[in-house]
Each structure stands twice: as structure tokens, then as C-alpha cells.
Amino acid sequence: MYSILILATGLGLAQAEEIKTVKSMQVANNVSFRVQATQELLYRGLFTEEARSSRVQFQRSYRVESRCLVLESNNNYSQLACLTLLKQRNNPASLPTITSEPAATSVRLETFRCDSKGIIQPGHNLSKLSLEGPSTIEYGFLIALPKSKLAENDAWETTEDGRPVISWVVSGTEMVQGVKCIKVIGNQQTEDWGKTRADRQAWKRTDTVWLHPQLGVAQKLERTIEIKDPAHNEPSQKSTLRIELETSLVYPGQLFQDRKKEIQLATNYRESANSYTQDIVKYSAQTKSLMRQVKTQSEIMSQTPYRDAIIQTTKRLDNILKGDSAETVVVPVSATSLQTAKLGYKAPDFIAQNMLKQESFRLAKLEGKSVLLVFYNPKSPLSTEILDFARTMQKNHGDSVTVLGMSVIDDSEIVKKQAEAAKINFAVLNGSGLRSSYGLESTPKIVLLDAKGIVRLNCLGWGQETQSEITSELKRTIDKD
């Protein structure tokens, strides 16, 4: 009898412990994307990226602001407008800024639909989250949830076109800004991350999301992306995004309508502009008329944060009408990597003014001889050392290479004084209009072209081995030419 009592007591304790375990594992009973029309979520934070190769150590960072306004909402879907602003911080090697508050590096506005599980619906213009550089549109605060009830160690997968699946797991709960959040971790990586191949990069992405249990969106988001070069075991690039939900406000009546009207105007303006820029010569008059109409409309409308998207389109059209198809802002690496100077591809042609005397240079006319483009900031402490190095290259290889200094600021007075002091033996061109086509987020940057205009070296930064690498590659290129 005593043994039976002990056994029964043991079973009771075991069952109680099991119930206790189940309850402790349950972290949320009814999680879904629950927002209402007129509600706006504002996220702010920082994006940092660094190159960690043996050639150069380079780092830059951006302030990130992403706001999401709920235009419409019902039990099944919500219509959202997302505006992302990136502002490059004042790093020592970055291009100069006039004020302490940097201008927006990138401004992008997109509208899309999302269901109650955080799944973005087809029919949008959202790009995939960038692996290299900051994403120009940041919507990582939304994650696709498998069900409303979540327990610790629950796992599921989501898919992205052309990329590996993302594996998610619930790791528990944590307090963030006074909110008990559900901590969810997502991992995505190429199959060769553990053992890189010799013919392609490998990468790994980790998203840590502190999910707001009532809103069903991130209260806090941290994303880390690491990239390994081909045949390398250690990552050569790393980026980290950290953003937090700063405000969640419901805008009543006219305040909401003001925002909605500016979003609609910005969207229509961009679409009309895109149709005209396909043939700007033919539609020059229509483009100017469109700009005047939008300016008039903007002047009678109340200004909201979404005005930045209208201003961005106007700046772009101004540039195109002046004959410069490049954006006026510095475009992130992620947005320029497929259209700027790339290794093994023809360098973008340009015509630039010599800042030392009255003449201009066209890159295409220099073919038949290697060209060394030395992009630098005359106001940087490194500029004297860079110009000395370029002068040496011209002196030692002048018969086989054309060295061109490329100033990233349009200040002839500073350039001339510096050139005279350094006794340079080459032309210095105004490279301030090439920021987009040559990816000039920071300087110095050295671009080497062979006699056919093909990019053979694209070197950013000024590390210990930079000069020897440029010298070696220049010699190899000259020998091949």
C-alpha cells in the first residue's frame, strides 16, 4: 500500500511537472499582425558595414529611419505605405557634408499589402533585403508567422525567390522598452557556408526579432549578414542593422488625410516621371510641366514626412534634364553594385573637366593605354599621400599608363593649390558627378582600367597593402596590354 502511494505521488508530481513545463513553454496565445487604418509605426536605428580583408579595413554606417503607415485595414489584409530614409554618418573618409545633419543618402517609398500573418502579398515593387549594403526599403519588422499560438522552440520556415529558406525558431521572451516580447531568431545561409567554393561567395544572414505580442511586428530588430569571399574560410564583409520601434501613433482625421495625400502624390509623381525618363529628349516639355504641377500641388498641401519622396523625384528629374542620368545622392553599395564600375566589365564612360586648366577629358578616348583613376577628397588628411603615390605611378609608368586624379569635390581653388604644392605631373578632373556610376560612397578609391577600358582593379580604402597591390596589378595589366 505504501509503495502504491509513493508511485501515485510520483506520477502526480510528474504530471504536475509536465503541465508546468507546457505552460512555461507557451509564450503567446494569439499573435497576429494587428494594426488599424491611420496607424503609423516609426523605426529608427543604425546600419553598419565593414570590410575585413587583408588589403584594407573599411567601415561606414548609416542612420536608418523606416516608417510604415496603415492606409487601409480589414480582418484579412492591410494596405501599407513604407518610407525608408538612409543618412550616411560623417565617417572620416566619407564625402564632406555641409551641416551636422547629413542629407538623405537614399529615399524610397513603396506601397504593398500584408495579411494578418505578416505575409506580404504579390503585386508589389519591394526588392529583397540587400545582402551588400543597406536595403533602400526596410520592411524586416514584418515576419511571416505560422500560427497565432507560439511556444518556446516552435520552428518554421519561410521562402524567398532565388535564395535559401529562412529557418525560424522561438527562443523565449524578453523585455524590450517595457514590453514583454517574443524573441524569434531566423537563420538563412548558402549551402556552402561551412565550406566555401572557389568560384563564388558564401553568405549567412541572422535576424533576431523581438516581436510585440499585441501588434505582431518587431519591437526591435537586429540583422547580421556575413560574406565570405571564394575559397576563404573567414568572412571578409559584415553588416549589422539595429532598429527599434520608436513610436506607434494613430493619426486622427485630417492628420491622416494629409499623409495619405502626400503618399498618393509621391507615388503618382514617380510613376509619371519614370514614363517620361525613358526618352527625356522627347518628353522634356511634359517633364517640366509635371514638375511645375507637383510643385504647385505641394505648396498648397500640408507637409508630412512623406514629402521627402516627392523631393527625391524632383531632384532626379532635375539631374536628368541637365544631362546627368545619375542620382544626386550617394547610392548605397547594394543599389549600385550591378550598374557601377565592376571588375571584368567595361568602365562607365564619362566626360569631365580638367580642374587645373581649360580642357576636358573623355574616358573612351583614352583607350589603347591603361588608365589609373585616383578618386580622392582634397580635404582629407590622406590626400597628400595619395597624390604622391599617383605622381610616382605616372613617373615610373608614364609611357604605358595615364594617371588621372579625380576630385570628389567641386572646388578648383583647393585642387589647384594642392596640385602645385604636390608638384603633380598629371591632370586632376572634376569627379564629383561620378558618385553613382563609380560607387563613390567613400574615398580614396583607385580604379585601374586596361587598354580596352576593362576594370582590372577596384580598390577602396588606403590600408597597408593597398599601394603594393595597385603597383603589382598595374604591372600585370601593362604586361598583358
C-alpha cell at 303: 507637409
Spell out the domain ranges in the chain: 27-250, 264-321, 339-480
pLDDT for position 79: 97
C-alpha cell at 292: 511645375
Per-residue pLDDT of the chain (481 residues; tens, 9 = 90+): 444 333 333 434 444 444 343 444 667 677 889 999 999 999 999 999 887 654 445 677 899 999 999 999 998 899 999 999 999 875 433 333 333 455 678 899 999 999 999 999 988 888 888 888 888 999 999 999 987 788 999 999 999 888 999 999 999 999 999 999 999 999 999 999 998 887 788 999 999 999 999 999 999 999 999 998 877 888 988 999 999 999 999 999 999 999 999 999 999 999 999 999 888 889 999 999 999 999 999 999 999 999 999 999 999 898 888 775 444 443 333 333 334 577 888 888 888 889 998 888 888 889 899 999 999 999 888 899 999 999 999 999 888 999 999 998 888 899 999 999 989 999 999 888 787 678 777 788 999 999 999 999 888 887 667 788 888 888 888 887 7
**Nearest to 445, CA basis, from 373, 383, 337, 378:** 373
Q: Report how far apart, in Å, the C-alpha atoms of 358 and of each of 363, 373, 420, 446 are.
A: 17, 20, 16, 25
Query: Rounded distance, CA 298 to CA 67, Å?
Result: 21
What would be the CATH architecture of the domain defined by 27-250? Answer: Roll (2.30)
Query: Rounded distance, CA 120 to CA 102, Å?
Result: 32
The end-to-end CA distance of the chain, in Å, is: 98
**Nearest to 83, CA basis, from 329, 267, 342:** 267
Helices (H), 375-411: 383-397
Query: Rounded distance, CA 289 to CA 307, Å?
Result: 19
Other C-beta atoms closer than 10 Å to the C-beta of 107 total 24
**Nearest to 109, CA basis, from 256, 301, 310, 299:** 310
SS3 187: strand
pLDDT for position 340: 57
pLDDT for position 336: 37
| Prediction pTM value | 0.65
pLDDT for position 83: 98
Query: Rounded distance, CA 321 to CA 324, Å?
Result: 7
HEC string for 410-426: CCHHHHHHHHHHHCCCC
CATH class (in words) of the domain with range 339-480:
alpha beta
Peptide bond into 444 cis (omega under 30): yes
Is residue 1 within a helix (H) or strand (E), and if so which, with residue range? none
Query: Rounded distance, CA 209 to CA 142, Å?
Result: 9
pLDDT for position 436: 67
Residues 6 or more apart in contact with residue 24 via CB below 8 angstroms: 152
φ and ψ at residue 227, rounded to 5 degrees: -130, 130
Measure the CA angle with vertex 342, ends 340 and 346; round to 5°: 90
Query: Rounded distance, CA 116 to CA 75, Å?
Result: 7
pLDDT for position 11: 37
